[in-house]
A = this chain, B = another copy of it.
Amino acid sequence: MRQKDAALVCFSGGQDSTTCLFWAKKRFSRVEAVCFTYGQKHSLEIEVARQIAADADVPFQLLDVSLLSQLDTSCSLTNTSVEMDREKPADSYPNTFVPGRNMVFLTFAAILARSKGIFHLVTGVSEADYSGYPDCRDTFVRSLNVTLNLAMDEQFVIHTPLMERDKSEVWELADELGVFDLVRTRTLTCYNGIMAEGCGHCPACKLREEGLRKYLARRQSKRK
């Protein structure tokens, strides 16, 4: 049975996908979450995600795609012997890039969704603050959407509510959705596995903190 009003959210328990989860809950009457484990250094991520989903009353499923990290060992997120790039190298991606990651995630998400009769997929990728990862671009997501539909002869629709938002605008969306505090205190974005404000010095923390400061300043000046 096809469910027109059902969506599956790719969900990691971070700022972006948590905002997407609540965006989807506003928009679809049935929402489920899928989380991917692939040998991240910080398995706390998964527990954080599971807890947020449980509290939001969203069915949660964990898929193990650790094959990903076995194929390419150059990534600092999954290989503890690789020191993480703190800045984006001028001529390439930071070594936090896992080649093909979003493609693998969305492909398995689509297969899982189809088996549940769900054809709307939601992902928190963004072009605005994307660290140069090619698989966060809108063109890639659109191409993938077509390929998925051809692969399974279905009509999936991939939603990317954050695509054109920078981090300050993601904070703004969370606030509009009424989950600003939840996102601020209960999500995990930090590459070093520290909740909420995080370690403060990894690239993910810097982006998150800068966006928050920018949004709070904007909100403040609006209220005056």
Contacts and interface: CB of A to CB of B under 8 A. Distances in A.
A111 B143 contact: no
Nearest to A112: B71
Interface stretch (A60-68, A191-199, A216-224): A60-68
Interface range on chain A (Cβ under 8 Å from partner)? 35 or more
Contacts of A139: 150
Most buried by B among A64, A107, A139: A107
A44 interface: no
Interface string A104-123: 10011011101100000000
Interface stretch (A22-30, A78-86, A95-103, A167-175): A95-103
Contacts of A68: 111
Most buried by B among A99, A135, A151: A151
A102 to B, nearest CB: 7
A5 interface: no
Contacts of A104: 104, 107-108, 111
A102 B151 contact: yes
A147 B145 CA distance: 9
Interface string A9-46: 00000000000000000000000000000000000000
A115 B63 contact: no
Nearest to A109: B71
16 contacts: A67-B67, A71-B111, A99-B115, A99-B151, A100-B111, A100-B148, A100-B152, A104-B104, A104-B107, A104-B111, A134-B152, A134-B153, A135-B151, A137-B150, A143-B147, A147-B147
Interface of A: 63-65, 67-68, 71-74, 99-100, 102-104, 107-108, 110-112, 114-115, 134-135, 137, 139-140, 143-144, 146-148, 150-153
